[in-house]
């Protein structure tokens, strides 16, 4: 499935979800949360139930995060989409997780596009 990584995640009112991308707690840098930042963040997260993923899984997730970071579009297979959904669900709160996972699910994505 081809994904546009520049898509901004939105809440149930259609307003952009926000992300603080600053590492300085004194000076927050608030931006709209994109699918790119959400996916990269999820890939860098280790789910609680995995405790210590094997080295190959860590390497493949890091490589995918690097590809996502470098591109504005990416083609992902079903296995990658499933892994991303699991990581997003574990990493993010409900509004972020639901908005991102709807963009990763072809059936839900088509329903959403028809409404807009």
**pLDDT digits over 64-112, tens only?**
999 999 999 999 999 999 999 999 999 999 999 999 999 998 666 555 5
Q: Which domain holds residue 88?
A: 2-115
Contacting residues for 18 by C-beta, under 8 A, at least 6 apart: 30, 31, 32, 33
Total number of domains constituting the chain: 1
pTM: predicted TM-score of the whole model, two decimal places? 0.83
SS3 72: coil
Q: DSSP for 81-110?
A: HHHHHHHHHHHS-HHHHHHHHHHH-HHHHH
């Amino acid at each position: 499935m081809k994904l546009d990584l520049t898509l901004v995640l939105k809440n149930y009112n259609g307003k952009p979800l926000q992300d603080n991308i600053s590492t300085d707690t004194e000076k927050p840098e608030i931006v709209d949360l994109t699918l790119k930042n959400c996916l990269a963040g999820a890939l860098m997260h280790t789910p609680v139930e995995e405790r210590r993923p094997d080295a190959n899984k860590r390497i493949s997730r890091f490589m995918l995060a690097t590809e996502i970071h470098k591109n504005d579009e990416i083609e992902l297979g079903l296995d990658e989409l499933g892994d991303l959904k699991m990581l997003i669900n574990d990493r993010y709160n409900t509004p972020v997780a639901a908005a991102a996972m709807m963009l990763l699910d072809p059936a839900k994505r088509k329903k959403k596009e028809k409404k807009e």
